């Protein structure tokens, strides 16, 4: 998960606005889908399971609001991104130094596991399970790469300003992203994992790795 990711396209131009009831029902279905995917995985997240979790009388109610599983999965990804960005962005932007922003980025990302325990495991499942099947999810992957390049550039600028030491920014951002993803995967299998401790230790690790030598 990255802050400032942008979002997947959710509605096509020219479609009529949804009613409050329709919007609420879609949100209910998406929330149930997130829970089911986090619990049983992408492959087993059937409309039947999701309908049961949402308390719906039939899967037809899902089909009424979503054109298919791909459509629902796009909304799942978009919702996780929205929640993640709303949670992480203010914490990152409140910091005035590059080391502070890096720490806030890592700690707030991991803290999502505590505040929204199903969201990150669900989106990891969707993106790995649906990889290559859905053009809009490929679009998401491309947008994430653009964010990756943005973070590399910000890290390079911090080096030039003397806030970080000498290292390859691209390697460092790759390591940070990989470490966060690994913790998300571990959290899905280890309910005893403490996000606060993990986030702090991971932030400490990368603080030392990026720190300018005395």
pLDDT in tens, 165-201: 999 999 999 999 999 989 988 887 887 889 999 999 9
Query: How much is the pLDDT for 88?
Result: 94
26 pLDDT above the threshold of 90: yes
34-38, 84-88, 124-128: segment of lowest average pLDDT: 124-128
162: left (phi > 0), else alpha (psi -120 to 50), else beta?
left
Query: How much is the pLDDT for 166?
Result: 96
- Give the Å distances, CA to CA, from 144 to 14, 117, 129, 186: 27, 22, 17, 22
Confidence grade of residue 150 (pLDDT, cut at 50, 70, 90): very high
* Distance from the first to the final alpha carbon of the chain: 32
Query: How much is the pLDDT for 141?
Result: 73
> Counting Cβ atoms within 10 Å, is residue 76 exposed (0-12), middle (13-18) or buried (19+)?
buried
Closest CA to 132 of 41, 70, 66: 70
DSSP helix/strand/coil, 115: helix
Closest CA to 116 of 190, 188, 204: 188
Tokens coding 54: 């949402």
Tokens 């039947």 locate to 48
Run of H or E residues at 118: none
- Over range 66-94, report the average pLDDT: 92
Half-sphere exposure of residue 147: CA atoms within 13 angstroms, side-chain side: 16
90 vs 93: CA distance, rounded Å: 5
Confidence grade of residue 213 (pLDDT, cut at 50, 70, 90): confident
**% pLDDT > 70, the chain:** 88
Query: How much is the pLDDT for 14?
Result: 46
Half-sphere exposure of residue 57: CA atoms within 13 angstroms, side-chain side: 1
- Phi, psi torsion values for 11, nearest 5 degrees: -140, 145
For the stretch 94-141, pLDDT in tens is: 999 999 999 999 999 999 988 999 998 898 888 877 665 566 667 677
For the stretch 151-169, pLDDT in tens is: 999 999 999 999 999 999 9
Confidence grade of residue 6 (pLDDT, cut at 50, 70, 90): very low
The neighbour count for residue 187, using CB atoms within 10 Å, is 23
Confidence grade of residue 7 (pLDDT, cut at 50, 70, 90): very low
Mean pLDDT (the chain, rounded): 87
């Amino acid at each position: 998960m990255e802050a400032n990711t942008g979002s997947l396209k959710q509605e096509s131009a020219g479609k009529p606005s949804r009613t409050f009831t329709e919007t609420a029902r879609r949100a209910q279905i998406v929330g149930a889908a997130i829970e089911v995917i986090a619990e049983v995985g992408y492959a087993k997240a059937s409309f039947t399971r999701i309908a049961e979790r949402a308390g719906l009388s039939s899967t037809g109610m899902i089909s009424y609001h979503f054109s298919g599983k791909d459509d629902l999965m796009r909304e799942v990804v978009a919702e996780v991104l929205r929640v993640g960005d709303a949670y992480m962005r203010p914490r990152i932007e409140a910091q005035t130094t590059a080391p502070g922003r890096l720490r806030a980025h890592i700690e707030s990302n991991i803290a999502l596991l505590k505040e929204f325990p199903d969201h990150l495991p669900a989106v990891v499942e969707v993106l790995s399970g649906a990889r290559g099947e859905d053009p809009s999810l490929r679009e998401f992957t491309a947008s994430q790469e653009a964010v990756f390049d943005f973070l590399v550039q910000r890290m390079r600028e911090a080096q030039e300003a003397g806030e970080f030491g000498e290292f390859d920014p691209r390697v460092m951002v790759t390591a940070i992203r990989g470490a966060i993803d690994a913790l998300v995967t571990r959290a899905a299998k280890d309910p005893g994992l403490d996000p606060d401790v993990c986030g702090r230790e991971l932030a400490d690790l990368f603080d030392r790795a990026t720190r300018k030598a005395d």
